[in-house]
Structures are given as structure tokens and as C-alpha cells.
Amino acid sequence: MTLILSMKLAWRSILGNKVRSILTMLGVIIGVASVIALVSVGQGARLEIQQHLQSLGSNVIEVYSQGWEVRFTPELLGSLKERVDGIKHIMPVLNLGGNIKWRNTTFDSQIQGVGEDFIAIRDLKLAGGRGFTEDDISERHRVMVVGSIVADKLFQGVNPVGQEVYYHNQRFTVVGVLKAKISGNQEWGIDRTVYIPYTAAQRLLGSSNRIDTINIKAEGIQESAQVAVQLKRVFYKIYRRPDAVHIMSRDDILKQVAEMNLVMTLMLGAIAGISLVVGGIGIMNIMLVSVTERTREIGIRKAVGAKNSQILGQFLIEAVILSAAGGIIGILLGSGASLVIRHFGPPTAVTPTSIAYSFAFALLVGAISGVWPAAKAAKMQPTDALR
Amino acid sequence: MGVVMVDVNAVTKDYRMGKIMVPALRGINLTIASGEMVAIMGPSGSGKSTLMNILGCLDRPTAGTYKLHKEEVSEKSDSQLAEIRNRKVGFIFQSFNLLEQLTALENVELPLIYRGLGAGSRRDRAKSALVRLGLEDRLHHRPQELSGGQQQRVAIARAVAAQPELVLADEPTGALDSRSGEEILAVFQELHAQGITVIVVTHDPNVARHCQRIVRLADGVVIADDLVRPEDYLVAQEVLTTLPALPEGGVKA
Ligand SMILES: Nc1ncnc2c1ncn2[C@@H]1O[C@H](COP(=O)(O)OP(=O)(O)OP(=O)(O)O)[C@@H](O)[C@H]1O
Ligand SMILES: [Mg+2]
């Protein structure tokens, strides 16, 4: 019962001196806001990698060229399949961007030129229509398979199969629609992708034999590690240097994610530690001043029978309320900053966990930095305080 | 003499001023019975406030014993002293000592809060104390929105709402005009009539004449202790009738 009243009193003394209260909270505000914003960037990057992992499909190895002389050709793909054991599927990939247009609607999407096995390699499922045939690839047919979000957003209820879509002023026919792979509405990722035969993509680009990446699906998990090793060996034999290609498996990505998490955690720990010290010192400093300023108030309270513990509690609560208010403002500012960052740069995601942690942290800062001033107030002699 | 309320025995109080000790009280002996109304007088610096602080358990004597209602105070812990201040003593100061950021009602509630009383009965008791002091239409005013006399009445309401056995007032009328001061004295006389022990420190002989007994201090010792002669005794309500009325109206005593 005194708790609610102490909170009321504390709140009133905070409102009574708004500028000072804000300055007091500044350290906590900055600390919490920067933690929230930074975590949101980290979380965004992690989500992006996760979605990439999902879009990759299981047991998939990606091979990137690293050098102008390293050219991937259909013949190379054929020979890889023969020279490396454990390859189930292999296909070339070309990444394109831009809008596709249906009737008067345009849609910003990711376009990939792929081989006929892309559905198997990426672990996709058709919701309707068909995938690509051998003919589609060899004859450079302008056909298209669209992701579920593309189907929903662009065609707005019309069955996309059989519809004609323009891309780079070329007419494509939709032959298949994919099932959603990730639930929820993503702003990037696999369900927004549009697939066309890589040969059609090459013709669109004019450079008729460009291949960006090779996707290989291994027979199983065990094989995938062996395939990666063998691939390295084969490419070394061809180019006589170890870094001619970059080979990335799901294991590699997972390792990278773990490393990134560790770095993030250490960085946030450092920021949190600094803001603890800075914010805590700010609160402690102002609280000490406030205890001196409010000597008379303390004396009056003691004269009417406040126990030392009750005075201690009041000032502690005040410190905690200050830091809690600072924490809330910091959370709002940090979330706002994260939105701004997303608007101009990398994807971000504010998670409930980071909000909960940084708020609890702010409360802790308040409690710790309030102890000394509160103890000073509690120890005051009533007659000294009333003089 | 009936039940003893205040029993002060050879009490001394020294203040440390740097390296030297300043004696403020040098062996005070004083006994006050329950229900008495006593004035304490003396020149400035004679130790009146120091004695009042000890009587009100705001401070401890350097030596000697002080029994409040048979309880030896010097043996109590800080927390027990807080309890005594909260329940047994009502302190009234020359400078009112109200909390500026609280309303009149909340100020009066303060001791009841520290007692742990529930919100409902707390509010009722605070309200009726303020009504009794004629402040029913000032419940939600802040101290700076009240006159000095009204502020002192809020302070008295705060003291009496806690239903103390002993009311201590250190120059309660010192900052007030004569009519407001007289109204305060009327309240004290009413408390006295109810059997509450009242001790008033004053420089003003006319204020002292509202009490039954006058204790005089000089240099930290009691130099005189006399009863007020009946012909000198002043009844505040009677004095009030001789003073010009203020438009605000008086106290419902
Ligand atoms: N906290 C203190 N530290 C040092 N000396 C003090 C302290 N309080 C009081 N004194 C000294 O003790 C003596 C008695 O002071 P006290 O306040 O009791 O006098 P008083 O009778 O109330 O005077 P007044 O009529 O001016 O209020 C004075 O000499 C004063 O200077
Ligand atoms: Mg004094």
C-alpha cells in the first residue's frame, strides 16, 4: 500500500522537475535505445540468412566464381556431375532483378534463371501447373514459375497459370505456381521469387553463356561434406589456385551465423556495460543532489514517523521509476531508429526478447545506482534535516 | 499529580562544533503530567528547541534519562523512535513544515501512511481532522495556495489526525498575525480540554498566558517553573471575540 503511494510521490517529484528528470534518464535512454537498434540490425541480418538457408534447400552446396577467368559452362556442370560422387542434382543459377508486369500491375521481385531440377533442389512444391521441362531449357522458352507471394500480390485472385507477364518487355507465360515455403509476409526471400529457365535469362541479358552460381544437391547429409571436398579438388585441378571458387554449404552458413551471434553478443555486452556505468552514474549523481535538496522533506517525513527503511524505499523507488521511464523512452526511440534504418538500409527486426532484456537491465541500473543516495537519505538525522 | 507524561531527568545535550562541544542543555529536570498545557519560555539560544526535539523523540539526549509515558526513550532503536513519533507525538513547527508537492489532505494523511493505515480510513480521518480545523473547502489546495494561518492549521490537523498523547509546538504562532495565532491557540486549548498534553514554546508572554504553567529556561537549565495565576489566564475563544473578524471566518472549535 505504501508502495503505490511511494510510486505516486516519486512520479510527482519526477514530473515536478521534468528537464532534470530527462537529463537524469539520458544515459539510460541512450543505452537502451542503442541496444534495441543494434540488436534489431543483428536480428534482421540473422533473419535474412535464415531465409536464405531455407531458400537454399537441404544438402545444397553453392559454388560462386571468384575471378574473371573462372567461367561456369553447361559442359563444366556436366563434367562435375561425372567427376564428383554423391551429386543428386546440379543446375546453373542466374540472379536478375526488376519488375514484372501483369496487365497494369507491376511487382518488384527477385528473378532467378534456373535449371529444370530447381524444384527438387530447392525443396519446393507446386501448388498448380508444372515446372520446367528439358525443352523449356534447351529451347529457351519464355515460361515462368512464380512464388506464392507473387501469385497473391500480383494476380490478385486470378489463377496465374496461363497468364501472360511482361519482363524486360518480353512476354512470359506463367506455367506453374509454388506453395508458400515460409509462413507470414516476408519482404524478401523465397516466396517472392520468380523462376525462369536459365537459358531464357541468358538470352534476356544478351550474354548468352553467363552463369552466376552453381547449385548442387547432394544425395544426403554425409555426402554433402564429401561433395564439397571433392569440388574443391576438382576446381583446384582446373585453375591451379585454391580460391578460384567459393564453395558454401549449409554447414558453412550455420557456422557463420554462430560466429555472428557471438560477435553480436560481445558487442552488445560492451555497449550494455558502458551504458550501465554512464546511465547509473547519471542517476546516482542527480539522486545525490536531490537528496541534499530534499533534506527538509526527509526531515518532515521522519518527524511524522517515517522509518529509515521507508525513506530508503521511497528514494530507491524513485531511482527505479526514473530508470524505468528512461528504459521505456529508450525502447521507443530504439524501435523508431530500427524502422528508420530499415527504411534506408539493411533489414531490421525488433524482438520481444531484446525489449524485455533491455528493460530489465534499465531497472537494474536504477536499483543499483539508487542504493547509495537512498541510504544517504535514510541515515539523515531528523533534527539535522529540519534545521 | 496524575499520570506522568513527560519525565526528564538530568538531561544534557552537547553539540559538536568542529573541535569544541557546545552545551545546549545542561541538566534539565522536568516533569509534566498527562493532560497539562505548559508553555516553555526563555531567551534565544537557551535550549528550548533542543529540549522540544528531545521531548518529541527527534533527537536523543547526550546524558540523562527521558521517560515518555513511562517508556525510557534512550534505550529505543531508531525504528522504535520513529514509531513513537508516529503514534504518540504530534509536532508543530514555526515554519509549518508541510510538503509543498502534496495537497492539504495528503499532508495530513502522511503520518497515517507511515502507520500503514488503509487508504479509506486514512482519508476519512485526515478529512475529519481538516474539517475540525475549518479547512473543509481547502482539502485539495497545495501549501503555497494557503495563508500562513491555514498552513499552520493543516500542520495541526496532521498532528491531531494521528491522535497523539503529546502535542509539541515550537513557536507555532511566531509566523502568524494575531488573529490567526489566536485561532491556533483556541485549537490547542480545545486539545487540552480533551485531555491531550500540550507543550508550547513561545517568546510571547500573551501566548504563554493561554497555558496553565510556564517553564522558563536560560542557558540550558530550568530557572523557573510557575503556574499561571487564574486572573492572568486567557481563553482564546474570548480573546477572539475582541479581535476584528476576518472575512474568511474562524475556526470551528
Ligand atoms: N545542530 C546544532 N549544532 C550546533 N549547535 C546547535 C545546534 N542546534 C542548536 N545549537 C546551539 O544550541 C543552543 C540552543 O539552541 P536552541 O535552538 O535550542 O535554542 P532556542 O532556545 O530554541 O532558541 P530560539 O529562541 O532562537 O529558537 C544555541 O546556542 C545553539 O546555537
Ligand atoms: Mg528554537
pLDDT digits (tens, 9 = 90+) for A5-26: 677 767 777 787 788 888 888 8
Expressed in angstroms and rounded, the spacing between residue B53 Cα and the centre of ligand 2 is 10
| Contact between B163 and B115 (Cβ < 8 Å) | no
| Contact between B51 and B199 (Cβ < 8 Å) | no
Residues A348 and A278 in one domain: yes
| Contact between A364 and A324 (Cβ < 8 Å) | no
pLDDT band at B252 (very low <50, low <70, confident <90, very high): very low
Q: Per-residue pLDDT for A359 more than 60?
A: yes
Rounded to an integer, the average pLDDT of B106-127 is 92
Residues A167 and A300 in one domain: no
Strands B213-218 and B37-41: parallel
Looking at A243, A274, A296, the residue that finishes a domain is A243
pLDDT at A1: 44
Residues A36 and A77 in one domain: no
Which atom in ligand 1 lies closest to the alpha carbon of residue B43?
25
pLDDT digits (tens, 9 = 90+) for B140-161: 999 999 999 999 999 999 999 9
Contacts of A16 in chain B (CB under 8 A): 101
Interface membership of A88 toward B (CB under 8 Å): no
Higher pLDDT, A289 or A277: A289
Dihedral sign, Cα of residue A319, residue A320, residue A323, residue A328 = negative
Cβ of B27 closer than 6 Å to ligand 1, yes or no, is no
Cβ of B49 closer than 6 Å to ligand 1, yes or no, is yes
Interface membership of A15 toward B (CB under 8 Å): no
C-beta atoms of A304 and B87 within 8 A = no
A164 assigned to some structural domain: yes
Interface membership of A233 toward B (CB under 8 Å): no
Q: Which of A16, A304, A383 sits opposite B110 (nearest CB)?
A: A304
User: What CA–CA distance (Å, rounded) separates A224 from A228?
Assistant: 6
Nearest to A323 by CA among A375, A291, A270, A370: A370
C-alpha cell at A82: 561425372
pLDDT at A187: 58
User: What CA–CA distance (Å, rounded) separates A165 from A102?
Assistant: 5
- Nearest CA residue ID for atom 30, ligand 1: B45
Expressed in angstroms and rounded, the spacing between residue B44 Cα and the centre of ligand 1 is 8
Q: Which residues contact A178 (CB under 8 A, 6 or more apart)?
A: A124, A125, A126, A127, A145, A146, A147, A148, A151, A191
Q: Which of A46-55, A208-217, A250-259, B228-237 is most confident?
A: B228-237
Cβ of B53 closer than 6 Å to ligand 1, yes or no, is no
User: What CA–CA distance (Å, rounded) separates B128 from B160?
Assistant: 10
Residues A72 and A157 in one domain: yes
- Nearest CA residue ID for atom 18, ligand 1: B47
pLDDT at B253: 42
- Nearest CA residue ID for atom 16, ligand 1: B47
With cell 528473378, the residue in question is: A111
Higher pLDDT, A352 or A10: A352
pLDDT at A183: 59
Residues A104 and A38 in one domain: no
Looking at A215, A243, A271, the residue that finishes a domain is A243
With cell 523523540, the residue in question is: B57
Q: Per-residue pLDDT for A57 more than 80?
A: no
Average pLDDT score, chain A: 86
Higher pLDDT, A209 or B233: B233
Residues A293 and A220 in one domain: no
Nearest to B52 by CA among B105, B5, B92, B20: B92
Q: Which residues contact B17 (CB under 8 A, 6 or more apart)?
A: none
C-beta atoms of B101 and A299 within 8 A = no
Cβ of B15 closer than 6 Å to ligand 1, yes or no, is yes
| Contact between B55 and B27 (Cβ < 8 Å) | no
pLDDT digits (tens, 9 = 90+) for A122-154: 888 999 999 999 999 999 999 999 998 888 888
C-beta atoms of B82 and A13 within 8 A = no
Q: Per-residue pLDDT for A224 more than 70?
A: yes
CA A161 to chain centroid, in Å, comes to 34
% residues pLDDT > 70 (chain B): 96
Q: Closest Cα of chain B to A309: distance in Å?
A: 9
Beta bridge partners of A62: A215, A248
C-beta atoms of A304 and B91 within 8 A = yes
Rounded to an integer, the average pLDDT of A164-168 is 92
Q: Which residues of A76-87 are buried (b: 16+ CB within 10 A; e: fewer)?
A: bbeebeeebebb
Q: Per-residue pLDDT for B251 more than 70?
A: no
Residue A332's SS3 state is: helix
User: What CA–CA distance (Å, rounded) separates B184 from B173?
Assistant: 7
CA A5 to chain centroid, in Å, comes to 42
Residues A269 and A318 in one domain: yes
Expressed in angstroms and rounded, the spacing between residue B22 Cα and the centre of ligand 1 is 9
Interface membership of A3 toward B (CB under 8 Å): no
pLDDT at B247: 54
| B44, B50, B221, best to mutate for ligand 1 pocket (most atoms within 8 Å of CB) | B50
Expressed in angstroms and rounded, the spacing between residue A383 Cα and the centre of ligand 2 is 12
Those residues whose beta carbon sits under 5 angstroms from the ion ligand 2 are B 49
**In this structure, how many other beta carbons lie within 10 angstroms of the beta carbon of residue B113?**
23
Number of domains in chain A: 2
C-beta atoms of A307 and B111 within 8 A = no
C-beta atoms of A383 and B110 within 8 A = no
Interface membership of B99 toward A (CB under 8 Å): yes
Domain B4-240 fold: Rossmann fold (3.40.50)
User: What CA–CA distance (Å, rounded) separates B140 from B105?
Assistant: 6
pLDDT at B246: 61
Dihedral sign, Cα of residue A312, residue A318, residue A321, residue A326 = negative
pTM above 0.80, yes or no: no
C-alpha torsion angle, residues B68, B71, B76, B81 (rounded to 10): -40
User: What CA–CA distance (Å, rounded) separates A60 from A47?
Assistant: 19
Which atom in ligand 1 lies closest to the alpha carbon of residue B220?
14
User: What CA–CA distance (Å, rounded) separates A148 from A24?
Assistant: 51
Nearest chain B residue to A311, by CA: B114
User: What CA–CA distance (Å, rounded) separates B22 from B135?
Assistant: 42
Residues A189 and A158 in one domain: yes
Nearest chain B residue to A17, by CA: B101
A250 assigned to some structural domain: no
A14 assigned to some structural domain: yes
- Whether the complex's predicted ipTM is more than 0.90 is answered with yes
Residues A351 and A260 in one domain: yes
Q: Which residues of B210-245 are buried (b: 16+ CB within 10 A; e: fewer)?
A: bbebbbbbeebbbeeeeebeeeeebebbebbeeeee
Residues A211 and A73 in one domain: yes
C-alpha cell at B15: 553539540
pLDDT at A188: 60
pLDDT band at B119 (very low <50, low <70, confident <90, very high): confident
Q: Which of A64-68, A230-234, B8-12 is most confident?
A: B8-12
Q: Per-residue pLDDT for B249 more than 60?
A: no
Contacts of B116 in chain A (CB under 8 A): 1-2
A61 assigned to some structural domain: no
Interface membership of A95 toward B (CB under 8 Å): no
A84 assigned to some structural domain: yes
Q: Closest Cα of chain B to A327: distance in Å?
A: 26
Which atom in ligand 1 lies closest to the alpha carbon of residue B23?
12
Range of the domain at A186: 67-243
> In sequence order, what E strands does chain A have?
60-65, 87-96, 99-102, 105-108, 110-114, 126-129, 143-146, 164-167, 170-178, 193-197, 213-218, 245-249
Nearest chain B residue to A8, by CA: B102
Burial class (CB in 10 A: 0-12, 13-18, 19+), A269: exposed
Which atom in ligand 1 lies closest to the alpha carbon of residue B13?
12
C-beta atoms of A297 and B99 within 8 A = yes
pLDDT at A343: 86
pLDDT at B56: 95
C-beta atoms of A308 and B53 within 8 A = no
Residues A211 and A163 in one domain: yes
Expressed in angstroms and rounded, the spacing between residue B46 Cα and the centre of ligand 1 is 7
Looking at A243, A269, A294, the residue that finishes a domain is A243
Q: How many beta-carbon pairs under 8 angstroms link A with B? A: 70
Rounded to an integer, the average pLDDT of A205-214 is 82
Contacts of A310 in chain B (CB under 8 A): 114
pLDDT band at A49 (very low <50, low <70, confident <90, very high): confident
Q: Per-residue pLDDT for A175 more than 80?
A: yes
Residues A281 and A227 in one domain: no
Q: Choose the weakest-confidence range: A37-51, A366-380, B225-239.
A: A37-51
Helix intervals (H) in A240-351: 250-293, 295-303, 308-344
Q: Choose the weakest-confidence range: A32-46, A323-337, B156-170.
A: A32-46
Q: Choose the weakest-confidence range: A279-293, A365-379, B123-137.
A: A279-293
pLDDT digits (tens, 9 = 90+) for B185-214: 999 999 999 999 999 999 999 999 999 999
Q: Which amino acid is at A336?
A: G
Nearest to B78 by CA among A22, A30, A306, A39: A306
